[in-house]
Every structure is written in structure tokens, then in C-alpha cells.
Structure 1
Amino acid sequence: MSITLNAADLSRVIEMAWEDRTPFEAIEQLYGLTEPAVIKLMRRELKPGSFRLWRARVSGRATKHLKIRSPEINRAYCPTQYKR
């Protein structure tokens, strides 16, 4: 199954994938992309060096996976991230 994303959604998925506190499950719930699909998308959309940096950053990161995430983390972003 192939999911087609418009430019705005593609940009948002990439942004969510880079965010430390946004779990892959949230991306799947919003956009229907599983973790392997997000990895494939990131490999396709990022420059090779950026992809390697991203993979090193998210590999084994507990906050990117709900099953290994601390139950104390109940939000996806820092309270000061979206200032008004």
C-alpha cells in the first residue's frame, strides 16, 4: 500500500520524525505511515548525510517508541516549543 502525501503533509511528517518527543506511533496514527515507512520516506527525502544523522539520533531513543517510553512523558512537545 502506497500513501501519497501533499507537500505540507510530507514536510510535517519529516518535522515530526526529527522531533525527539514525537513517537512513531503518532506519525502512524495521523498519516498512516509505520516506522519502516517513515524510515523509507526519510531515506528518500533527506540528503544521505542528514539521513545518517537522523538514524543515529532516533535509533534506540526511548521517546520515539511508546512501548519503551517513560509513562511520565505524556506530551509530544516541550511547553515552550510553540510560543505565541
Structure 2
Amino acid sequence: MNTPPTDPLALGAADISRIIEMAWEDRSSFDAIKAQFGLNESAVIALMRRQMLPSSFRMWRKRVAGRRSKHAALSGVKLPRHRAAHTRQ
């Protein structure tokens, strides 16, 4: 079984795009990003800082700061969401 990369610099363009998409979604937690790509919250923040315009990054940080849904343990969701077959497990 392949393990997800932990180095954000080793990720391809498609993976980076998906991580950014998941980071913007309210329903995707940082834990889900870590499970799929091996990046913890601070690595996602660093990736977003590098990949986004400064104003977009500030808007994203303001949006997710303190958001319960971005942390699986705090969100209160009991059942995991369905994942499409083509996504990493």
C-alpha cells in the first residue's frame, strides 16, 4: 500500500489543487486532508500561503479560524461522509 506523501513539495499539481479545494470546503476537515495526503494543519496552512494570493490567503484564514467543521474532533459528525471511489482512501 502506498503511503501519502508528507512533503508538500512532492505533491503534483492535481493533488495541490484538491488540497486547496478541500481546505476551502466547510465539510472537509484538516483530519480528512491529513488522511488523504499526509499533511497536518500547519502544512496545509503553509501550502495555502505559498499557493494563494496574499489577500486570498488572509480571507481563507479569517474564514477557517476557529471553525468547528475544520476539526473532526470538534465538529460532532458521527458518521463519515461517503467518498467517491476515485479519491484516495
Same fold (TM over 0.5): yes
**CA shift for structure 1 position 54:** 0.3
Supply the distance in 2 between the matched residues of 1:25 and 1:53 (Cα, whole angstroms).
21
CA distance 1:20–1:73, shift in 2 (3 Å)? farther
TM-score normalised over the length of structure 1: 0.82
The gaps in structure 2 that reach 5 residues or longer are 1-5, 83-89
Residue 70 (str. 1) matches residue 88 (str. 2): no
| Structure-to-structure mapping, 1:3-82, within 5 angstroms | 3=8, 4-71=10-77, 74-75=80-81
- Identity, % of aligned positions: 53
Supply the distance in 2 between the matched residues of 1:35 and 1:63 (Cα, whole angstroms).
13
Q: What secondary structure, in the 3-state scheme, does the structure 2 residue paired with 1:15 have?
A: helix
Superposed CA offset, 1:5-58 (max 9, x none): 111111000000000110000000000000000000000000000000000111
Number of positions where the alignment pairs a residue of Structure 1 with one of Structure 2: 77
TM-score normalised over the length of structure 2: 0.78
Q: CA-atom RMSD, angstroms?
A: 2.0
**CA shift for structure 1 position 71:** 3.0
